[in-house]
Amino acid sequence: MKKKVAIGMSGGVDSAVAAYLLKKKGYDVTGITMQVWPEDDYYEEREGGCCSISSVEDARRVAYKLDIPFYVFNFKDEFKEKVIDYFTSDYLKGNTPNPCIACNKYIKFDSLLNKVAAMGFDYVATGHYCRIEKIDNRFILKRAIDLNKDQSYALYNLSQYQLEHTLFPCGDYTKPQIREIAKEVGLQVHNKKDSEEICFIPDNDHGGYIKRFYPKDVTTGLFKDKDGKVLGEHKGIVYYTIGQRKGLGISLGKPRFVVNIDSQKNEILLGDEEEVFKNKLIVDELNFIAFSKLDEKINVQAKIRYSAPLKAATIEPLEDNCAIVTFNEKVRALTKGQSIVFYQDDIVLGGGIIKEIL
C-alpha cells in the first residue's frame, strides 16, 4: 500500500515541485494549504505572501495539474495565538522575534502534522530546502545541497517524532533545478518570485503593523547615548532592532547605531558601530536534534539569523535548559529574541532563543 503524504502547499514553486517529486516516487499525495490570516480588512487588502488568496489559488491549480486531491485547512486561531501574538509581544519587549520559526514549530510541524496523522497520513511534507537522514537509530536534520537556499536554520525545533514523519523533497536539489523541473512538467509557478517578507506583513513594515493593531502599546520615547544624554525622540521601540543605522529619524553628524533597547524605560541606546559587536550570550528554550541533551562544553559553528554566516563558537550547558554561547570572535548585532542555531559540518545540532547578551 502506498504511503500517504500531506504536502503543505504555499502556492510557490518549491512546494509545487515537492508535491510532484513525491508523486513521482510513488507516494499517495494530497495537497494542503493552511489558511492562517485572521479575518480583517488589513489582510483582505493584501495579495502578497504565502497564505494570500492568490497563493491559495496557485496551489489549487498546481494540485489540479498534478491530479492530486487538494484541501484548505483553517489554522487561524492557532496562528493568531502562537505566531502573531508571540511576534507582537516579543517586539513590545524590545526583542526581535522570528515568526517563521514559530510557525514551523507550532503550525506546520505540530498542528498540521497532528491533524493529518489523525486522518491516516504517514507523513507531512513541505518545500523547505533541507534534508533528513537516519544515523545510528536517530533522525538527523542536515543542511540542503543548495547552501544558498538552505532553510535548516528555521527548523531546529523539530523533534524525533516530527522528523520521522516529515519529508523534504527539495533538499537534494538546487533552486535552479527545482525551477527547471517545474517548467518541464508545465507548472505555471515555475517562474514565480520567491516570497521573502513575513507572510502576514506583506509590506514588510512590522512596526506599522504592530502600531495598527496595538496603538496604545506603541509610544514615542527617547534616544540616549551611553552617558545618558538625550539625543532625540524615537517613534516606538517596535520600529528598531539591534545594529540598525538607517531609519532612525534623527541626524547626529556621524553614524549612530542601535546598541540596546530598554522596553521598561521605553528608551533606545545609540552608540558607535563597535559597540554593536559582542561575543557572548545566554540562550534558552534549547532543542537538540543530533543528541537529546547538552551534557558538556562543545565546539560548534553557530548562525544567529537566517542570512548570517556560520561562526565558530562554544556552547556550555547551564541549568533550566539554557547555555552560554561564546564566539571565537566578536559578532555583529547579537539580538535578544532571535534564534541561534548550532551546526557541525552539515548537521544541525539544535538551537534556541537568545535570552541575554553578555
pLDDT confidence of residue 1: 84
Look at residue 249 and tell me whether its pLDDT is greater than 80.
Answer: yes
For residue 328, the one-letter residue type is N
Selected from 1.10.3720.10, 2.40.30.10, 3.40.1160.10, 3.50.30.30, the CATH number assigned to the domain covering 276-357 reads 2.40.30.10
Among the listed residues 50, 100, 170, 199, the single catalytic one is 199
Q: Provide the β-strand partners of residue 269.
A: 224, 260
Residue 5 in contact with residue 12, Cβ under 8 Å? no
Q: What is the pLDDT of residues 66-118, one digit of tens each?
A: 999 999 999 999 999 999 999 999 999 999 999 999 999 999 999 999 999 99
Phi, psi angle pair for 103, to nearest 5°: -65, -45
pLDDT confidence of residue 44: 53
**Residue 342: which pLDDT band, with cuts at 50, 70 and 90?**
very high
Closest CA to 13 of 198, 202, 184, 203: 184
CA 342 to CA 295: how far, in whole Å? 15
Look at residue 270 and tell me whether its pLDDT is greater than 70.
Answer: yes
**Residue 39: which pLDDT band, with cuts at 50, 70 and 90?**
low
Residue 205 burial by Cβ neighbours in a 10 Å radius (0-12, 13-18, 19+): middle
Residue-wise DSSP of 35-83: E-S-S-HHHHT---STTSHHHHHHHHHHHHHHT--EEEEE-HHHHIIII
Q: What is the pLDDT of residues 277-326, one digit of tens each?
A: 999 999 999 999 999 999 999 999 999 999 899 999 999 999 999 999 99
pLDDT confidence of residue 35: 87
Supply the DSSP symbol for 104. Answer: I
Q: H or E segment at 124?
A: strand 123-125
For residue 204, the one-letter residue type is N
What percent of the chain shows pLDDT beyond 70? Answer: 95
pLDDT confidence of residue 54: 72
For residue 290, the one-letter residue type is A
Does 199 participate in catalysis according to the annotation? Answer: yes
Supply the DSSP symbol for 262. Answer: E
For residue 65, the one-letter residue type is K
246-259 average pLDDT score: 92
CA 293 to CA 108: how far, in whole Å? 24
pLDDT confidence of residue 253: 86
Closest CA to 79 of 236, 214, 198, 203: 198
| Mean per-residue pLDDT over the chain, rounded | 93
Residue 295 burial by Cβ neighbours in a 10 Å radius (0-12, 13-18, 19+): exposed
Q: What is the pLDDT of residues 165-198, one digit of tens each?
A: 999 999 999 999 999 999 999 998 888 887 767 8
pLDDT confidence of residue 50: 53
Specify the residue for cell string 523533534.
Answer: 159
C-alpha cell at 282: 545566554
Q: What's the distance, Cα to Cα, between the start and end of the chain in Å?
A: 55
CA 183 to CA 299: how far, in whole Å? 43
Contacts of residue 118, defined as CB under 8 A and 6 or more positions apart, other chains included, come to: none
Does 103 participate in catalysis according to the annotation? Answer: yes
Residue 49 in contact with residue 55, Cβ under 8 Å? yes
**Residue 28: which pLDDT band, with cuts at 50, 70 and 90?**
very high
For residue 255, the one-letter residue type is P
Look at residue 216 and tell me whether its pLDDT is greater than 90.
Answer: yes
Residues forming CATH 2.40.30.10 domain(s) in the chain: 276-357
CATH 2.30.30.280 given to domain 219-271? yes
How are the residues of the chain apportioned to helix, strand and coil, as percentages rounded to the nearest 5? 30, 30, 40
Residues forming CATH 2.30.30.280 domain(s) in the chain: 219-271
pLDDT confidence of residue 199: 81
CA 259 to CA 243: how far, in whole Å? 6
pLDDT confidence of residue 37: 73
Residues forming CATH 3.40.50.620 domain(s) in the chain: 4-191
Higher-pLDDT residue of 271, 55: 271
What percent of the chain shows pLDDT beyond 90? Answer: 84
Other C-beta atoms lying within 10 Å of the C-beta of residue 287 = 15
Class of domain 4-191: alpha beta
Among the listed residues 50, 100, 103, 170, the single catalytic one is 103
Distance of CA 107 to the CA centre of its chain: 12
